[in-house]
């Protein structure tokens, strides 16, 4: 089954304790991205990757790191989490690496709800 898998689904941690949220897709998609969702703000992009070893900042990258060593995996790393990073996080992937016309929606994972105390 084609899917984007995020782990864990729920995570409660304390300020300053490094954590990693994993994301894996089995659709051979070039493009992968991380979003955070906060009430009243919709989804905002954190980082994205156009292909292996190619990553770039989105709208809200501060406090996050990513890596794309292989095509299927795109982990999100919080080196020193803070309470303002409490949010619902989504990983997403897409076949197309470039914007423009074309029917290529993002495929989302099921989300990771992170609480930083």
Range in contact with other proteins (rule: CB under 8 A) among 19-27, 61-69, 72-80, 93-101? 93-101
Question: Shortest approach of other proteins to residue 80 CB, angstroms?
Answer: 26
Range list of β-strands (E), 1-117? 4-7, 10-13, 19-25, 31-38, 42-51, 54-57, 65-66, 76-78, 87-94, 107-108, 112-116
Peptide bond into 8 cis (omega under 30): yes
Q: Alpha-carbon torsion 65, 113, 16, 59, what sign? A: positive
* Distance between CA atoms of residues 56 and 22, nearest Å: 18
Q: Where are the alpha helices (DSSP H) in 7-110?
A: none
* 86 interacts with other proteins by CB under 8 A: no
Structure tokens at 49: 């990757």
- Of 90, 93, 114, 116, the residue at the interface with other proteins (CB under 8 A) is 90
Of 92, 93, 114, 116, the one binding other proteins by CB under 8 A? 92
Minimum CB separation of residue 103 from other proteins in Å reads 5
* Binding to other proteins, residues 16-55 (CB under 8 A): 31, 33, 35, 40-45, 48, 50
- Would you tell me which residues interact with other proteins (CB under 8 A)? 31, 33, 35, 40-45, 48, 50, 56, 58-59, 88, 90, 92, 94, 96-103, 105-111, 113
């Amino acid at each position: 089954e084609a899917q984007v898998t995020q782990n864990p689904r729920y995570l409660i941690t304390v300020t300053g304790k490094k954590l990693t949220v994993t994301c894996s897709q089995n659709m051979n998609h070039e493009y992968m991205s991380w979003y955070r969702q906060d009430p009243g703000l919709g989804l905002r992009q954190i980082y994205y990757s156009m292909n292996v070893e190619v990553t770039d900042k989105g709208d809200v990258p501060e406090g996050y790191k990513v890596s794309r060593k292989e095509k299927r995996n795109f982990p999100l790393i919080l080196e020193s989490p803070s309470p303002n990073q409490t949010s619902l996080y989504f990983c997403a992937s897409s076949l197309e690496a470039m914007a423009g016309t074309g029917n290529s929606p993002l495929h989302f994972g099921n989300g990771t709800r992170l609480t930083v105390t």
